[in-house]
Amino acid sequence: MRLLISPASPFVRKVRVLIREAKLMDRVEEVTVATTPMETAPEVVAANPMGKIPALIRPDGPGIYDSRVITRFLDDLAGANLYPQSRIWDILTLEATADAIMDATVAMSYEARLRPAEQQSADWVEAQWAKAARGIAAVNSRWMSHLSGPLNIGQIAVASALSYVDLRHDGRGWRNGNETLAQWHAEFTARDSMVTTKPA
């Protein structure tokens, strides 16, 4: 199988961390592609008509896409139990919260990097950050119990989301008021799977 990636994407990183934790490195080849929302690489469109990464190309079926679909597929393939049935709805909600933080902060990055300066909206950027900040605060106040214990996809997703905020929006100071989550993040990012997938 081939995974189309851009290393800085938090959605991609979530999948790459799972691959390492599930010990699937020998079954998934990671292929870096140069693609943007404005100029989508043809191989990405061929795998995902929406033109988004990550996309997983399988030898025995059509490409699958959306990071949550890919992680669920790979977890099932490996039997890694990163979607534990005993807490499945909580874990899926935690993953969705992390993905929403990614959505908002990636949108902020695109506004700054892809839109002409005269077309950028500071109000829109702040609205996106408000969404991300609410999500981060919710994880800190409601979901910390799910960030301990056996590894699950919620933990991987939250770590990937927060690490992206550090990468692109470090000045926002997400740790202020979220000290418990900040301590957890510092410990989780020391895992080999996080270290080896950190964007250069």
Question: Each residue of 92-150: pLDDT tens digit?
Answer: 999 999 999 999 999 999 998 888 888 989 999 999 999 999 999 999 999 999 999 99
Which H or E run contains 33? Answer: none
Q: Of the residues 51, 78, 105, which one is the last residue of a structural domain? A: 78
Residues 3 and 163: their CA atoms lie apart, in Å, by 21
Mean pLDDT of the residues in the chain: 95
Domain around 42: 2-78
Point out the domain boundary residue: 78, 100, 134. Answer: 78
The pLDDT assigned to 181 comes to 98
Same domain, 20 and 100: no
**Model pLDDT, residue 136:** 98
Check whether residue 109 and residue 49 sit in a common domain.
no
Judgement on whether residues 92 and 8 belong to the same structural domain of the protein = no
How many domains would you assign to the chain? 2
Q: Give pLDDT, residue 9.
A: 97
Instruction: Give the angle subtended at the CA of 105 by the CAs of 101 and 111, to the nearest 5°.
Output: 150
How many Å is the Cα radius of gyration of the chain? Answer: 17
Residue 12: partners with Cβ closer than 8 Å, 6 or more residues away:
5, 6, 53, 54, 67
pLDDT at 38: 79
Q: Please check whether residue 197 lies inside any domain of the structure.
A: no
* Confidence at residue 3, expressed as pLDDT on a 0 to 100 scale: 98
pLDDT at 67: 98
Amino acid 34: pLDDT: 86
How confident is the model at residue 114, as a pLDDT? 81
pLDDT tens digits, one per residue of 8-58: 999 999 999 999 999 999 999 999 998 878 788 888 898 899 999 999 999
